[in-house]
Structure 1
């Protein structure tokens, strides 16, 4: 059973085959038909979201650092620390200070209040994900964009829609000349480092990264998006109540389920280290993660929770759960509860 769908989705064979279909890695710079094909793919992908052009964006630390560096030349950046883990790594390398936007500890959301505080500090570029990393809560993107438009005129708004897109959820119609959408192809089953930035008559094209494009990148992304399964039935409440009936007060949440994506639960297991529980679950063929840094093998607990004010020890209590296939909840929860109880008995 996979409980890490959002952060570790299955790769899709056909879209990845498109990436390697060209006989050569670079289209001819003087062949009009090859250039026209690339431009048409760029426009077609963008049109799915109301945009008019797509730009390659690989989502690795180097790509984030280039984007942030270009933006920082003309804007003060307010950056949600709950964005992609590689973006979080990049802000630590940036040679200019940024204003941190941190999810509220009670709601698990980036709030309009925090945006207003950033604007008051002179921030003119705000980077906020549709879904917060690790805790998997949905930020009120339309409300945040409306707040920005009401209180500023020329600020740039950038949001990563990848997790919501992977579940085939509706994407708010917010793109305009001051807004960029980010799409991580990895969330759609493409190999890592294949993503895009979607724009529409954007006012500051000089901030676009100069990443070299894979010729069929935009076509592969379109194929992945068009082949997405329907949004799954949301059964997270059943999952949580079943688990709670077994573990009682030793199970909790790092954010309300009302604010999380369908079938996404930021579970909190009292007084254990998630790594030990994950190892025990793996023996039962159940795959899970503490958070993005756990998934990437960085041996560190959730950076999002630590930025929210939780201690390192508390952050180790997280299991960031997401799934699309409805499991046998009774069997799954009994297995999880048994592994957890054994760890508590052993004191590890």
Structure 2
């Protein structure tokens, strides 16, 4: 299997539920408490909560913060958070949006000193364009709450993790924080399985960006005028590559390459060839049709020159076949 969608779907194998992590007020929970202590120590935070990594779970977090101050959210965040924010507004509550520029970077002009909390990560979903949170801190005194599933920035005041992207299973998320930022849950309402699996995934997590330039060079040489770029890949996470192919929907290529055990992605929820275009590309002011051209690679190992050329040639062959079929319809 050639897994070039590692940042969207890690898909851990052989996960095992440990009976000793079972939570009960009538039993000794020492094994879980030790796990929680290791998790907090790894990232130097004091508190840990689990929450449902979906619209309802993020809405609960937003409602808690709303009691304490003004909230802003980057449109480059995970889809579940964006859906929660829209539901938050539907309830008649106010928050601010931080937009993306045409080049994929955060629009810093949208950041205000009036914000108390900002949901903004060290990378943008789908494109993996990096955001320097240290620079964001210079523009505001707000607490920074970020997704650390693909990259952790020490400038974050709270971090959360996506079990689906880290393990391939939906079990809920984990959020780490200080200063009683959120309402701490009792142990009986903690998803110990999610904590265990996410911690294990993070311990095993590895990336390798050594093949990024090889892939980009080979793609340009083989695809020539059929390839273009929404973002500057020098500004993306070092183990990610983002590009676009003219004249086809990415999901068509995703599906056909999967038959050859080559796995790529168009963005969140699109690695399986689903019909949704990249929301992030649309947030960068591209139309829906154009946003369907976008493709992301991400790497967890090094590839040889020969391996890169074979993968790119296979991709190019499938791409041209699909393009010809589309033109004939």
The reply to whether TM is greater than 0.5 is yes
Q: Residues 5 and 264 of structure 2 are in contact (CA less than 8 Å); yes or no, is this contact kept in structure 1?
A: yes
In the superposition, relative to structure 1, how do residues 250 and 65 fare at CA in structure 2: closer, same or farther (>3 Å)?
same
> Given the alignment of the two structures, is residue 252 of structure 1 paired with residue 228 of structure 2, yes or no?
yes
Q: Residues 244 and 293 of structure 2 are in contact (CA less than 8 Å); yes or no, is this contact kept in structure 1?
A: yes
3-state SS in 1 of match to 2:202: helix
Partners of 1:102 and 1:69 in 2: CA distance = 22
Greater CA drift, 267-276 or 180-189:
180-189
Structure 1 length normalisation: TM-score?
0.82
Q: Residues 21 and 32 of structure 2 are in contact (CA less than 8 Å); yes or no, is this contact kept in structure 1?
A: no
Q: Residues 47 and 177 of structure 2 are in contact (CA less than 8 Å); yes or no, is this contact kept in structure 1?
A: yes
In the superposition, relative to structure 1, how do residues 314 and 10 fare at CA in structure 2: closer, same or farther (>3 Å)?
same
1:269 equivalent in structure 2: 245
3-state SS in 1 of match to 2:215: helix
> Given the alignment of the two structures, is residue 191 of structure 1 paired with residue 169 of structure 2, yes or no?
yes
> Given the alignment of the two structures, is residue 285 of structure 1 paired with residue 261 of structure 2, yes or no?
yes
Partners of 1:145 and 1:209 in 2: CA distance = 32
Alpha-carbon distance, 1:245 to partner: 0.7
In the superposition, relative to structure 1, how do residues 219 and 273 fare at CA in structure 2: closer, same or farther (>3 Å)?
closer
In the superposition, relative to structure 1, how do residues 42 and 258 fare at CA in structure 2: closer, same or farther (>3 Å)?
same
1:132 equivalent in structure 2: 124
Q: Residues 185 and 192 of structure 1 are in contact (CA less than 8 Å); yes or no, is this contact kept in structure 2?
A: yes
1:163 equivalent in structure 2: 150
Q: Residues 160 and 176 of structure 2 are in contact (CA less than 8 Å); yes or no, is this contact kept in structure 1?
A: yes
1:145 equivalent in structure 2: 137
In the superposition, relative to structure 1, how do residues 40 and 146 fare at CA in structure 2: closer, same or farther (>3 Å)?
farther
In the superposition, relative to structure 1, how do residues 41 and 280 fare at CA in structure 2: closer, same or farther (>3 Å)?
closer
Alpha-carbon distance, 1:239 to partner: 0.4
Q: Residues 290 and 320 of structure 1 are in contact (CA less than 8 Å); yes or no, is this contact kept in structure 2?
A: yes
Deviations 1:184-237 (A, max 9, x none): 23333263234311123x1533487999213354344433333334x4142211
Describe how 1:1-348 pairs up with structure 2 within 5 A: 1-13=2-14, 16-17=15-16, 20-22=17-19, 27-31=23-27, 33-34=28-29, 36-94=30-88, 95=91, 96-106=93-103, 108-111=104-107, 113-114=108-109, 117-119=110-112, 122-148=114-140, 152=141, 155-164=142-151, 171-175=152-156, 179-189=157-167, 191-200=169-178, 202-206=179-183, 212-229=189-206, 231-295=207-271, 299-327=275-303, 328-348=307-327
The alignment covers a number of residue pairs equal to 320
In the superposition, relative to structure 1, how do residues 278 and 24 fare at CA in structure 2: closer, same or farther (>3 Å)?
closer
Partners of 2:315 and 2:85 in 1: CA distance = 36
Partners of 1:160 and 1:319 in 2: CA distance = 21
**Alignment gaps of 5+ in structure 2:** none
Structure 2 length normalisation: TM-score?
0.86
3-state SS in 1 of match to 2:224: helix
In the superposition, relative to structure 1, how do residues 210 and 294 fare at CA in structure 2: closer, same or farther (>3 Å)?
farther
In the superposition, relative to structure 1, how do residues 187 and 265 fare at CA in structure 2: closer, same or farther (>3 Å)?
same
In the superposition, relative to structure 1, how do residues 83 and 277 fare at CA in structure 2: closer, same or farther (>3 Å)?
same
Q: Residues 294 and 300 of structure 1 are in contact (CA less than 8 Å); yes or no, is this contact kept in structure 2?
A: yes
Alpha-carbon RMSD: 2.7
Deviations 1:2-56 (A, max 9, x none): 221110112142xx31xx222785x22255x42x544443232111111122111
Partners of 1:268 and 1:87 in 2: CA distance = 26
3-state SS in 2 of match to 1:55: strand
Alpha-carbon distance, 1:59 to partner: 1.7
Partners of 1:211 and 1:199 in 2: CA distance = 19
Partners of 1:258 and 1:270 in 2: CA distance = 22
